[in-house]
Structure 1
């Protein structure tokens, strides 16, 4: 990993996204997703909800960095709640 000079948090971040994609691929093969309409009023499948979770979490973290001086671990907790809510109700 020296060729990109990655830090450990950066490597863990991308490894977790790769793991999530792999898990979603296995789930899609074993139990195909059925689209459903949630709170947003749009039809979403499991992969759509993962994409919305990743995109929303990015915005949450950017807002956290820009608006507060508190540790980033709080934003991680907010992202976990957001991910749960997205997969449950969207």
Structure 2
């Protein structure tokens, strides 16, 4: 896969996404969840909340790159807080 010019951060990113998908698949098979309704007023499952978290984190990172001069690892901290909020209240 040399043609893709993989860097360590890129490999870590995609490995993390793959690991999350595997973990959430195992969780869904082992402990099925009934949907719950949060502050959005829609029923969501763990997978739905993971998708909302990943989508929101992408937007947070893009905004971080475009609007601030701060180092990108700080955006990860913001994304982790966002993820905790989504899994708690959505």
TM-score (norm 2): 0.97
Question: Counterpart of 1:50?
Answer: 50
Number of equivalent positions = 90
Match of 1:81, SS state, is: helix
Could you tell me how far apart the structure 2 residues matched to 1:80 and 1:74 are? Answer: 10
RMSD in angstroms over aligned alpha carbons?
0.7
Using the TM superposition, give the Cα deviation of residue 3 of structure 1 relative to its aligned residue in structure 2, in angstroms. 3.3
Question: Counterpart of 1:62?
Answer: 62
Could you tell me how far apart the structure 2 residues matched to 1:64 and 1:5 are? Answer: 24
Question: Counterpart of 2:80?
Answer: 80
Gaps of at least 5 residues in structure 1 are none
Could you tell me how far apart the structure 1 residues matched to 2:2 and 2:34 are? Answer: 42
Question: Counterpart of 1:3?
Answer: 3
Q: Which runs of 4+ in 1 moved over 3 A?
A: none
Gaps of at least 5 residues in structure 2 are none
TM-score (norm 1): 0.97
